[in-house]
Chain A
Amino acid sequence: MYGDSLRDDQGRRRVGRLIDEDYENRVLGELFDIISPLIERVGHEGLEKITRLSVEVAQGNWATAVSLMEQSPHLIERVGFEGLESIAGLAGKVARSSWMSAVTLLEKSPHLLDRILLYGDQSMVMDVYALAAQIAPSSWATAIRLVERSPDIIARILPYGDQSLVAHVYSLAAQIATHSPGTAVSLLEKSPHLIDRIGFEGLERVAALGGQIARDSSKTSVSLLEKSPHIIDTLLRHGDQSLVMDVYALAAEISTHCSGIVVSLLEKSPQLIEKVGFEGLKTVAVLGIQVAQDSYTTADSFIKKSPDIIERVGIDGLEKMANLSRQVAMDSCETATCLIERCPGLMDRVGYEGLEQMAIISSQVAQDSYTAAISLIEKSPELIDRLFRCGNQSLVMDVYALGGHLALHSSRIAVHLLEKSPDIIHRVGFEGLKNMAHLAHEVSQDSWSTAVSLIEKSPELIDRVGSEGFKKLAHLALQVSYANSYGAVSLVEKSPELIDSLLRYGDQSLVMEVFGLVNRVAQHNWRTAVSLAEKSPALIERIGYEGLEKVAGLGSRVAEHNWKIAVKLLGMSPEIIDQLNYEGLEIIAEFSRQVAQNDWNTAVTFLEKTPELIDRLLRYGDQSFVRNVYNLAGGVAQYSWEVAFGFLEKSPDFVDWVGFQGLQMIAHHVGKLAETDLENALSFVKCESIDFTRFIDTIPKGLELKNIRPVLSRYLNALLGYGVDLEEAESVSTDGEKIYLPKKVQEFQNEEENFLFYKVISTHQEAHLEYGSFDFDIGEVQDVITRIESRYGKKAWGKMTDLENFYQLFPEPELAEDLMNILEDYRIETRLKKEYPVLGEQIARMNLHMLSKRPSLEGLTNLKQRSVEVIGQTLMTGEIDNTPQDTPDPILKYALSVSESLQDSGSDIHDTARRATDLYFLIDKAFKEPYGPVKPISKPIDQSQINQNIGSFGKTSKNIDEKMRGENQRKNRQPPNNSENISGSSGETNPYDHQPDQDEIQQSDHRSLENHRSFESNHTGGKYGADNKESMQKDFHSTNNSMKFSSVEKIERLLRELFKEKGIKPKEVEQKIELMRPGEIEVYLTYLESLIGKKTELEEEKGTYLYPEWGEDINNYRTNWSRIREQVLEGGPLSFYQGTIEKHSGLLKRIRREFQMLRPEGLIKLKRQYDGDEIDLDAAVEYFIDRKIGLSPSEKNYMLTEKRERDIAVVFLIDMSRSTKGSTIQCEKESLIIMSEALSEVGDAFGIYGFSGDNRDNVDFYRIKGFEEKYNQKVKTRISAIEDGCENRDGTAIRHTVTLLRKRDEKTRMIILLSDGKPVDKEYSGTYAIEDTRMALKEAQRYGIKTFCITVDRTAAEYLPRMYSHSSWVVIDDVVKLPEKITRIYRMLTE
């Protein structure tokens, strides 16, 4: 053991000496672990050697060194120290690049060695490792691969010889490895195959070739070696080993010139030999070398394709091909390569000549761009195929020749043209293509991209506009491209679509014209032109070609200043034309041009805002109005465009405020202002200056209906004799109950004229109602109908109004309707003029004003239409007497004479219909063309609405008459005693039946007179007053009822009177009568008649009252709208009262005391007192007189001033609606009892009323305690009986209470309303109810009646303030506290 340790120490020392001290700590430990076994195996000397090797290796990498040391015993064991050295050498070299691989190599080495040693000896190992070491510096991976593969390689070589063969092979590899390690390895790997085929000599030759090639390109040589076995196999099929040798020899020869093509040549050699023999191969090789002089790649392709080429054109052809490719390659070897690669296919199609041609083109193209050339060649086969479809080879050749020609100038154009050529030829033939080429050439001189796009789009364009059109377009594009090729391209690209749209509006010539136009514009500005082109279809659609021309001119003009504006303008032009016509566009163009002169940015903004602005303006008027506004702004722009711009922006607002006249004034004003003070003018148009507000105030703003509604509606009511409502609407019309008028009238500058306008148009409608325009009854004009039918044949009547049915009798109902309306307007206006002399003049004036708005006669081409318009306008002037009767127009002449007959005040709508028919015949006879309706002069008479709303007086009376007549006839046939039964039974069934018996009439003679008087006096104001008096009188005095309504006229008169006086519509009467048995009708009519002159039926009923109601929707009162039915509440048991008294006994005591203190208030002078402060003079005088004449005088001769009365009258109004059910009504009742107790203490006059009800004609108003009633048992029982009922219509109840209180003389009058919140009834809720209640409270205030509302609805905050704004109010959150609170409130209110 000692020896061992000593030996170790020595080893350690030696090693330590060798190893750098730095590594000691880290490495030695590991090293020393293996030292002992090493020494054991190799001794100290061996260790020393190993260490030295390791240190060498360690310079590269320590881990490798360590691995080496570890493996060294095994390695030495196998291959000794020399082997180890050579392994270490390799490992060291590998380790420099990859120590991991080195370590792996070392670890694998023992195993590898074992395998090599299986076949050979140590020297073989040395060869392998030496070769590997040689390779390693240039490629360590290859070296490792070599080492790893070697055992296999050796194993496969060995069968062909001995170890020396292996050594030879390795030495061969070693030779090559100097140039190309990869080739060497490939050689080694392939060597077994090669030896197998061609023996070692062959291998040597291949190796030589490989080595040679490797000098140029190791990649090629590797590929050579890789492919060689296969090549040789193939060659061997054509000949023996010597052939292979020859071929390889040839290859070797070639490789001296050009190694690049060798592989391809070898690869193709079998094919070539097969075709042309070895000699041929040689030739090919030579050709290849020649080609390769210019380009290896071309040559490579040449060689590769040579079999194909030879197959087609033989070896000679190949030669030519080689030349050709060389020529091409001079310009572009890539093109040449491509050409060769494609040549077989091309040759198949066009033969060699064609190919040559193509080669020429492509080399020309390639001068510009080889990629284009390549793409041309690549596409050629397909292109040629397509060309063949159009013609034969010569065509193809021609096309290519053309392309070549073109390519001289522009290769791209040529390529594109060629690509499109089949399409083009298909359309326009080769000549066309030629032209196109010419055109494209021309264009391309300025812009090749334009030319390209032209060619691209050419088929589509030619399809649309033909080649001529295409030419024009090309010129246009050229024109544009002068300025901007992009614009041209985009124009061309859009053209097909554009043309498509244009063709919708015309033929090709239109398209041509448009393009011509665009071309002209393009000479000024291409962008404008492009924009114009884009919008041209839209513009033509709107304004036709002429319009487009004008727009183009406009665009050019604007473009002179600023093209951006022009483009913008054109872009918007269709929209603007839609809004304002061409004139508007012109105005806007002019304006924007003006603005653009100063600031194009603003002009752009202006244009952007224009459509919206126009839209807003159009709300206030028509197109001409908007144009006028712009003209105004144009006027302002003369002074300052900024101000004008601001003015325009605000113009809709201005118009809204002050109308067009006002706008004119503003324009005028700011124009002047801008001249002197620009700043001021600017702030003026922005509505910011004080001047502005002042100025605006001075402008008349037109008249709004709402401002004059009360005046106008009363005025109309006065004329008509019954109430019509006025309502805002677009057009003027009436439905019998309402007259519809425009919201605002701005026809004139001043308010009076505008009012007059309102007055005239509304009076016109009133007159329609008054003079029976709606009473047309087709049965009345049977005479006319016969005439019409005899002329135009019979027509079935639809379920329309009589008027509509009447119109339908004519072939042209519109003409009939227009004539009817014109004549009827004339009729009623004549009546109006007769009735109201002064208004008549005003009507004439307004008509003249309206006449200015009628279309001019010159503009009317439709002769019928023109005639109607002439008649309409002439009648509108109302001066038919002044119009010369010898007017040349016979129709007008006749129309005038016809209308004259309508002046008669006895004429009615049926006369109008007769005259209209006459005129219709005349016009229809004179002109044959179909009638184009005129712009309506006033709204056509529409019976349907009236019928729906009111019904027809004439029809209803006729129906009634018919029914009665039927009855009379039946009666006549019946025995007379039956009549009694009829009247008797009707009396039971009909509530209206109040048949006045004869006795009654006779008895109360003076009363009948009274009735008669009132009846008569009431309708003296109407039209049936005086003239019918007698007949009425006779009717009335007649005791025979059946005689009374003996004629339709009489019934109609009654119906009209009913409507006028009582608002009972014929519709309603008819409905009632429909349900009646015929016998009852007369009774009913008598009853109806009795209504007239009396109070209304409702008022007649005792204790009912009618009240108006405020209609929030119509902003007016609805008269006699709701009905109060006052009644005494029936009392109930007293228990509730007693319960309350007991329950609140404490409270009551206190309240009584408090109220007692309230008592004295107010001074009163009591006359004729026994005692007092003053002497009552009247009494004193009487005293003396009495004494004088001997009567005993009175002693009451003093006046006493006394505070006696509180002078308060208060009504407690109790909401008894359903919603109060439960605690609310209980507390209300309790409060009432306590209040009553308290009030009886003070002595204030008070009433208690409750209300509830169901709909507007059933508002129940319960008297619980009237003012005059004492607070007694009865009242107490009534309070106890208060119960919740139905709904609550607060407004009506308040109004009635106000009526009650107005009768009181007290100084303080007050309503205290106890309610639970919102008023609710049928059709009485929400805002409507709140507003009505509010109005009712307001009315109370007006009469000096205080109102106070106590409400228990806690959620009512949102509407209570509005509702009770005319009243004091309080919300009590806890209903239980009501009894206590109410007394306090009362004290507070009255103290």
Chain B
Amino acid sequence: MHEPIESRKYENGSFEIKDEPFYLPQGDEVELFEAAYENKLPVMLNGPTGCGKTRLVEHMAWKLKRPLYTVACHDDLSANDLTGRYIIKGDEVEWIDGPLLMAVNNGGISYLDEIVEARKDVTVVIHPLTDHRRYLPVEKRGKIFHAPKDFMLVISYNPNYQSVLKELKPSTKQRFVCINLGWPNEELETRIVHQEAGVDEDMAGRLVKSANRIRNLVHQGLEEGVSTRELVYAALLLKSGVSTRNSLYSTVIDPLTHDSDLKKSIEEILKNYFHV
């Protein structure tokens, strides 16, 4: 709070993605995304944690050469946090743009990750942006900001741990083009892990195979399957010389569940592939 927030951080440049983020399409999601962008349609990414939703958005931002404004939503996130607020500076007040407003102003991609986590008033703010109106009303400033054609709203939504309490309202859902992402198929995921972490293909293959087996346990005690991200993490740890056991436990087993029996089952699957 005491440190002054440097406005540099909010400059457009830092939101641009300069290097191509590694992304291997599972299907034709890239084409779909582009089509949506061209048609100024908002996109909802649907898929389990760590399947590459964020990476897809980054990749698309790079590909479409748009700055990316990512907001990880949490349960205290209010509309003001998206649009911006006044702050008191000395005797004066100063308006600070929120990320959504920045995206609107700069014609970038606004990515609201895990939108359901945010407060209800957030949806009210984004609704006008999702249909033909394409503007953002900012109450405090009494202004409406019209989005340029290169503005795009992307939200992500993880149906797996939806609770009844936190479900996206149908009226909200219906405003988006839905792109479903699943786990990449074996071959693809192997390539992803191989390239991301730089481990050999055999290792990557074994990680992916075991992950696929573990994913069979979803709905049988496991809330979510092993994510590609975690596989990459595991591979990274392995590559940097962490013991197999530690690498796997801290990425593929421990984050998934606290149930000791379930852990043991997962461990047994991994033991089929690795000397643990």
Contacts and interface: CB of A to CB of B under 8 A. Distances in A.
B201 interface: no
Interface in A601-631: none
B47 to A, nearest CB: 8
Contact of A1014 (B92, B163, B182, B275): B182
A1013 B181 contact: yes
Interface string B171-199: 00000011111111111100000000000
Given A719-B213, A1188-B92, A1026 B186 contact: yes
B3 interface: no
A1018 interface: yes
A720 B182 contact: no
A720 B272 CA distance: 14
Interface string B17-56: 0000000001110001000000000000011000000000
Contacts of B265: 710-712, 714-715, 718
Contact of B178 (A718, A1010, A1020, A1191): A1010
Contact of A711 (B46, B185, B214, B264): B264
A838 B264 CA distance: 17
B127 to A, nearest CB: 20
A1106 to B, nearest CB: 11
A835 B209 contact: yes
Interface stretch (B57-65, B145-153, B215-223): B215-223
Contacts of A721: 216
B271 interface: yes
A806 to B, nearest CB: 32
Contact of A1025 (B177, B178, B185, B213): B185
A1303 B216 CA distance: 27
B220 A723 contact: yes
B213 A718 contact: yes
A718 B183 contact: no
B264 A1013 contact: no
Contacts of B186: 1020, 1025-1026
Contact of A1017 (B93, B163, B180): B180
Contact of B273 (A837, A1018, A1020, A1181): A837
A1260 interface: no
B248 to A, nearest CB: 12
B103 to A, nearest CB: 23
B217 A717 contact: yes
Interface residues of B, number: 48
A715 B268 contact: yes
A1026 B182 CA distance: 13
Contacts of A1185: 86, 88, 93
Interface in A707-745: 710-712, 714-715, 717-723
Interface residues of A, number: 42
A838 B262 CA distance: 20
Nearest to A1017: B182
A970 B51 CA distance: 48
Q: Which of A837, A1119, A1303 has the most C-beta atoms of chain B within 10 angstroms of its own C-beta?
A: A837
B80 to A, nearest CB: 10
B184 A1016 contact: no
B269 to A, nearest CB: 5
B208 to A, nearest CB: 10
A763 B271 CA distance: 13
A1013 B213 contact: no
A1119 B221 CA distance: 11
A718 B182 contact: no
A1184 B163 CA distance: 39
A722 B217 CA distance: 9
A159 interface: no
A711 B27 CA distance: 35
A715 B269 contact: yes
A838 B164 CA distance: 42
A839 B216 CA distance: 19
B261 interface: yes
Nearest to B209: A835
B212 interface: yes
A714 B261 contact: yes
Contact of A719 (B216, B264, B274): B216
Contacts of B32: 1006, 1009
Interface string B208-245: 01001111110011000000000000000000000000
A718 B261 contact: no
Q: Is the interface of A mostly helix, strand, loop or mixed?
A: helix
Contact of A710 (B212, B215, B261): B261
A1021 interface: yes
Nearest to A1021: B212
B184 A1020 contact: yes
B93 A1188 contact: yes
Contacts of B273: 836-839
A836 B268 contact: no
Nearest to A1006: B177
Contacts of A471: none
A1203 interface: no
B24 to A, nearest CB: 13
A759 interface: yes
Given A710-B261, A717-B216, A838 B274 contact: yes
Nearest to A721: B216
A1016 B275 CA distance: 31
A717 B178 CA distance: 31
B185 A714 contact: no
B206 interface: yes
Given A710-B261, A1009-B180, A1014-B180, A718 B214 contact: yes
A719 B272 CA distance: 10
A52 interface: no
A718 B216 contact: yes
Interface string A1174-1209: 000000010011001101000000000000000000
B168 to A, nearest CB: 14
Nearest to A713: B265
B165 interface: yes
A1188 B88 contact: yes
A262 B212 CA distance: 131
A589 B181 CA distance: 76
A718 B181 contact: no
Nearest to A1033: B27
B275 A838 contact: yes
Interface string A1299-1312: 00001000000000
Contacts of B209: 835
Nearest to A723: B220
A994 B231 CA distance: 40
B272 A1021 contact: no
Interface in A635-655: none
Most-contacted residue by chain B among A712, A838, A1025 (CB, 10 A): A838
A668 to B, nearest CB: 33
B201 to A, nearest CB: 13
Given A839-B272, A1017-B183, A1188-B93, A714 B217 contact: yes
Contacts of A1012: 27
A1062 to B, nearest CB: 12
Given A714-B265, A719-B213, A1303-B165, A1006 B221 contact: no
A1153 interface: no
A1381 interface: no
A1009 B181 CA distance: 10
Interface string A1009-1042: 1101110111011000110010000000000000
Given A714-B220, A838-B274, 7 more contacts: A710-B265, A714-B262, A759-B268, A839-B272, A1009-B32, A1026-B188, A1303-B165
Interface of B: 26-28, 32, 46-47, 86, 88, 92-93, 140, 163-165, 177-188, 206, 209, 212-217, 220-221, 261-262, 264-266, 268-269, 271-275
11 contacts: A718-B265, A721-B216, A836-B272, A837-B273, A839-B273, A1010-B46, A1010-B180, A1012-B27, A1017-B180, A1020-B212, A1026-B186
10 closest A-B pairs by beta carbon, nearest first, are: A1017-B182, A1013-B180, A714-B265, A836-B272, A839-B272, A1021-B212, A711-B264, A710-B261, A1020-B185, A715-B268
